[in-house]
Amino acid sequence: MRKELIQEAIQEAEREGANLVIWDRRDTFTVEADDVKEIQANDDHLRVKMQDGKATVFVEYGHVYKLVVEKDRAGKGRSGSRAGFGAGFGAAG
């Protein structure tokens, strides 16, 4: 996935106070807005530091195939509307 798309998803999640859901070749994980200390889009990887200092996640851009900005709906439970950014497995970038 291209760095520009990843940066766009990060910026939207930060603006909206939304969660960022990341799919890579091995796993899917959610970066919850309330638990993030810092997100960095480096040259070849995404780095996420969590608030509690117990975890830092590194994800190579070439392994990310989908990002979703997950916005909570007030009073509707955990799941909300999703705006996705995706790329196919064989895509360059």
User: Which residue segments constitute the domains of the chain, with CATH numbers given?
Assistant: 3-86 (2.30.30)
For residue 31, which of 19, 39, 46 has the smallest C-alpha distance? 19
What are the tokens at 33? 């807005």
- Check pLDDT > 60 for residue 84: no
Per-residue pLDDT of 9-59, as tens digits, reads: 999 999 999 999 999 888 888 888 888 888 888 999 989 998 888 888 888
User: What is the DSSP secondary structure assignment for residue 91, as one 8-state letter?
Assistant: -
User: What is the DSSP secondary structure assignment for residue 53, as one 8-state letter?
Assistant: S
